[in-house]
Structures are given as structure tokens and as C-alpha cells.
A = this chain, B = another copy of it.
Amino acid sequence: MKNYFSSDFKLGVLGGGQLGRMLLTETQKLDIYTVILDGNSEAPCSQICNEFHQGDLLDFDTVYNFGKKVDLLTIEIENVNIDALDKLEKEGLTIYPKPSSLRIIQNKARQKHFYTDNNIPTAEFNHYAYLEELKHSYENDIIEFPFVWKSAQFGYDGTGVKVVRNYNDLQSLPDGECIAEKLIPFKNELAVIVARNTDGKVKTYPVVEMEFHPEANQVEYVICPARIDSQVAEKAREIALKVVSDLDFVGLLAVEMFQTVDDKILVNEVAPRTHNSGHYSIEASYTNQFEQHLRSILNLPLGNTESKLAGIMVNLVGTEGYTGDVHYENIEEILKIDGVTPHIYGKKTTKPFRKMGHVTIVNKDINEARKIAQQVKETIKVISK
């Protein structure tokens, strides 16, 4: 086995945001030398990795030259220059997840075609090269309101997704390649994180349940395990495994799904990396998702994905009406509650709905955890001063 635990080995990570920051805790635990590229010189990882490089993740030369400095390359965000990754891979660099997987996932239209091509259940959709094509489609009664518009490229955290209910909504959409998806009446939004190492060994985390903020289209609570029927959970798990297998994926894949009113499971979208829906694992799981990501890309044995306790995650997002130097109001109040752990991502300025941190609640009793999560949500406020 290659000696990852030596200073001769350099792990490169594209992206230095909060996911990179939590990954660094694990590279530090295993003493893996970690080099990070991010466009922002004040990115959450900038001061605490072994080497930090500032540069545009979408620029061919920047990504290519960065790749030349490292022994293994991974990502914490999928919006990176994949042409550069292809060239690096051809020249012999090991990259996980594989550029071929990233190319399918990065474009939401291509991702949807992948599902239908592989008989993976997903909501019906139409694909348009330009917004004008979508408008024509509406005018010719091929699609009807309401539908879900998704930008094909570079949506993140609810940007690039909109429920289109009327003509006004349609007019306000930005131009560009997109899809229009059938609006699915669902009972629950679920997610399953699957880890697969280079040997093809696979483990799944328990199915989690996500409660969304009605306006911001951001996850408010992630609840592990999901309070659903075990047969539905098993179906979700099987579909997630099929996605990973059909992609021939290496690394961590977070599969977001709808549980429809008639208990069908439809894949909504996937993320080829550690994911917000797995943050609970730091406190609740035997092996957290960040350590598991390292285990999978370094081809180490995968860790136990079971939970020690029930876990709920509350996202800490910027309160509406505040932009500026961040202040975490009442953080000391939530620290009084047993089993409550805040994670602050180190972003200097807050703005409405920006992800600034998260709080994990663990408890033997999931209903008690859910009550505490509500209390946490109502107590701590991310504001500016």
C-alpha cells in the first residue's frame, strides 16, 4: 500500500469551503498532507491546511497546474474544470471521484438523461438548450404550470432551481441550458450517502429525512434515521446503490430522493462528495462522512456507517435582513443543552440564507432530539453587528 501517512504524499482538494474544512479535521487526524485550491483567499480552509493556493476552480490552466503538484486529487465542490481533470487523468494522476462521473453529475440535464438511460426512477423532464426553447415548449402545451425549472449548470444550495407556477415566474427565469421537471407531490425528501472505495467495496449510511425551509429551498433539518417504513428505506437504499454502481463511482455519493404520496422513490439529484445531509455523522456515526470519504478515495477499508445515537442537524444560515460581519447570537444558550454541538464554518460575512454553520443534536430518543432541534433553531440567530 502506498504510504499516505507520510509527508511525501500530497492530497489535493479542489475547493476550500466548509466541506473542505471538515475534511481537514480528518486529514489532520490521519496526518495526511493536504493542499487546497480555492478562488477565495479567505476561504474556510485557507489558514488551516498544509498548503493553500488561490485560483479559479473553473479555469483550465489553474486546475491543471494545481493537479501537477499533488499525488491524488479530490473535490469538495463539483463545479470545477473537468477538461483539466481529464488531461491530468490521461497523464497518470489519480482523481476520485473520476472525471467521467463528475462530467455526468455536473450538468443537471446530463444527470437526468443518465437516470432515464439506466432505468433509475426520476421525475419526468424536458431538456432545453436555451430558455427560449422552454418558453416555446410552454406555448405549444408540451409542458404546463406548475413545473420545476433547473439550470443545467452550476446550481448550488437551491440557486438554479425554481418552481414555476405562472407566466410571471416563467418570464423571470435566467437564460441558459435548463430542464423543466414535473412537480412531484411527495411525502418526504430522503437522502442516502453511499461510499465506494477503489476496490469496489460499498457501504451505505442510514436513510435520512430532510425538512426544507419553505422559501429558501434549503435544508432546515436533517433527521437520522428517517422516520419512515423500513421497506421504503430499503427501496431508497437499493436505488442509491444502483446509481453508484451504474456510475462506476468512487468516493462518496449523496443521493437525494423523493418519497412520493404512493411510496415510490424517485431520484431527485446526486452530489459526488460529502454532503450537508451527512453532517450529523460527525457526532452520531461510528465513522463520519469525512473520514469515510478519505477511506474510499485512499482505498482503505470502509468504516462502520451505523449510528451511535439518533442525530439531527440544523443548518445555521444568515438571517434575512442582515448582511455584514457575522455574529452568532445566543450561541452560549444552545451550549447549555446536552448533546448540542455547533460547527462554525469561519466565513467572515453573513448574508440572508448563506450557510454559516450547522448544529448537531444527538440523543438516545429521536423525538427528544427533534424537540431540541426546534429549540436550537429558535434560539441561535446568525446576524451582523
Chain A residues 85 to 106 lying within 8 A of chain B, measured CB to CB, are none
Residues of B within 8 A of A345 (CB): 31
> Given the complex of chains A and B, what is the CA–CA distance between A66 and B274 in angstroms?
38
A1-16 interface code vs B (CB 8 A; 1 in, 0 out) = 1010111000000000
Residues of B within 8 A of A348 (CB): 7
- A135 close to B (CB within 8 Å): no
Q: Which residue of B lies closest to A25 (CB)?
A: B25
Give the segment of A115-123, A141-149, A180-188, A327-335 that binds chain B.
Answer: A327-335
Output the least CB separation between A35 and chain B (Å). 11
Residues of B within 8 A of A346 (CB): 28, 31
**Interface residue count on the A side (C-beta < 8 Å):** 45
Contact A30:B342 (CB < 8 A) given known A5-B328, A362-B308: yes
Residues of B within 8 A of A136 (CB): none
Contact A5:B344 (CB < 8 A) given known A49-B48, A362-B286: yes
Chain A residues 265 to 314 lying within 8 A of chain B, measured CB to CB, are 286-287, 291, 295, 300-301, 303-304, 308-309
Residues of B within 8 A of A341 (CB): 29, 287, 291
Q: A21-B28, A24-B28, A28-B48 are in contact. List 19 more A-B contacts (CB 8 A).
A: A5-B328, A5-B331, A6-B326, A7-B348, A24-B48, A25-B25, A25-B29, A28-B346, A29-B341, A29-B343, A31-B345, A47-B50, A48-B49, A48-B50, A287-B341, A295-B335, A308-B308, A308-B309, A308-B362
| 23 CB-based A-B contacts, threshold 8 Å | A1-B332, A3-B327, A5-B327, A5-B344, A6-B325, A6-B326, A6-B327, A7-B348, A21-B28, A24-B48, A25-B25, A28-B48, A28-B346, A29-B343, A29-B344, A30-B342, A31-B344, A48-B49, A286-B338, A286-B339, A291-B341, A308-B309, A308-B362
